Amino acid sequence: MMSAMERDLDRLCQQLDDTDALATLLGFTDTDDIEALRARAEALTLRTIGNRVHYRGLIEISNICSQDCCYCGIRRSNAHVARYTLTQPEILDAAQWCAAQGYGSVVLQGGENTSAAAVEFIADTVTRIKALTRNPRQPEGLGITLSLGVQTSDVYRRWFAAGAHRYLLRVETTDPQLFARIHPPEQTLDERIEALQALRDVGYQVGTGVMIGLPGQTLVQLARDVLFFKTFEIDMIGMGPYQPHADTPMADEPTLSAAERLQRALNMIAVTRLVLPTANIASTTALQALSPEGRELGFSYGANITMPNLTPEAARQHYLLYDEKPLYNEDTEPFGDILKRRLAKLGREVGLHEWGDSRRFTDRHRT
């Protein structure tokens, strides 16, 4: 016989299009409620996605950014940042290491730079990565995700033609008022959503995400974020707990405790999985900033993607979007073995030599 708690969870899970029901799930704090939510999301992940976790080797190519977001450590006006841009050989070395280890994909992430030289640099680098990483196990080379901010449709097409096929552009919040509070006036939510549509029109698998635990953020706002993921047909989700950075205007604004932000972020992963059963959901580095087991917790709540950091060590310390970012040396064979063992304890395995594309995307485009 079902307990009252299980009946309540069933009732809420039958209302996944309802903002209030989602807000209730996101706000779970009782241990038994949280475990029931976690177990349901994990079971759904295994049923719809399977037990494989796919790696995206993360290469933080530059911390030079034209934007001035109020929460970001590499914002344009932060004079305390040592700016860098990786050379193409550095990027190619990291990508080739990634391919040799069986990681199926890389992510090229960086600050927003719309100059013609930067656009061409990315296009040429993507082309070279594809050529250098082809092998019998992956004849088309590594899968390539870009996360390089708002660009024009022409730029998106240029990079897609070069070989990139996934793009992550986080909105950070879909609430217009909250978006305006955490961004300068020249940035708008409408512009970000228009860019997501442009990416879809080009043919990318489209990713976005939000920060969880922003100062003043409500459960209803987070619930609406999840519904946006659904209605906008988002294919992949990269989100995590808000972490302040001392050199930003938001540094001293009050927010939830670290423990509360971690649990709310995990609840957000679980609820997003319930609403989008076949989307790719990342277990992000920001989770590890709040718990040494943060990455593994993300998987147990429904995530199926992780992004080991392959940025050269000398540059990695300067790509600090938030304080206390983990700077683990993840471009080593022992790291891959350690993570593989941790995944095995969760009943998961690594999907080696696979792009690990979003089933949500492939199902939608199946003819």
Start-end of H helices in the chain: 4-13, 19-26, 31-48, 88-100, 116-132, 153-162, 176-182, 189-202, 219-231, 258-275, 285-290, 294-300, 313-316, 333-345, 359-365
DSSP 245-282: -TTSTTTT-----HHHHHHHHHHHHHHHHHHSTTSEEE
Tokens of 115: 């100059």
Q: Quickly state the pLDDT bin for 6 (edges 50, 70, 90).
A: confident
Q: Quickly state the pLDDT bin for 332 (edges 50, 70, 90).
A: confident
Q: Quickly state the pLDDT bin for 2 (edges 50, 70, 90).
A: low
Please give the mean pLDDT across all residues of the chain. 95
19: three-class secondary structure by DSSP: helix
Residue 109 has φ and ψ, to the nearest 5°, of: -120, 145
pLDDT digits (tens, 9 = 90+) for 197-228: 999 999 999 999 999 999 999 999 999 999 99
The answer to whether the CB of 255 falls within 8 A of the CB of 215 is yes
Interval 149-156 mean pLDDT:
98
pLDDT digits (tens, 9 = 90+) for 50-82: 999 999 999 999 999 999 999 999 999 999 999
Q: For the whole model, what pTM was predicted?
A: 0.96
pLDDT digits (tens, 9 = 90+) for 220-255: 999 999 999 999 999 999 999 999 999 999 999 999
Interval 132-148 mean pLDDT:
96
Q: Quickly state the pLDDT bin for 339 (edges 50, 70, 90).
A: confident
Residue 312 is given by DSSP the state: -
The answer to whether the CB of 286 falls within 8 A of the CB of 305 is no
Domain boundaries, the chain: 36-365
Distance between CA atoms of residues 244 and 237, nearest Å = 21
Q: 22: Cβ–Cβ under 8 A, 6 or more apart, which residues?
A: 16, 222, 223, 226, 227, 271, 275
pLDDT digits (tens, 9 = 90+) for 252-305: 999 999 999 999 999 999 999 999 999 999 999 999 999 999 999 999 999 999
Look up residue 4 and give its amino acid: A
Residue 109 is given by DSSP the state: E
The share of the chain scoring above pLDDT 90, in percent, equals 90
The domain defined by 36-365 folds into TIM Barrel (3.20.20)
pLDDT at residue 367 is higher than 60 = no
In this prediction, residue 336 carries a pLDDT of 74
Interval 3-8 mean pLDDT:
78
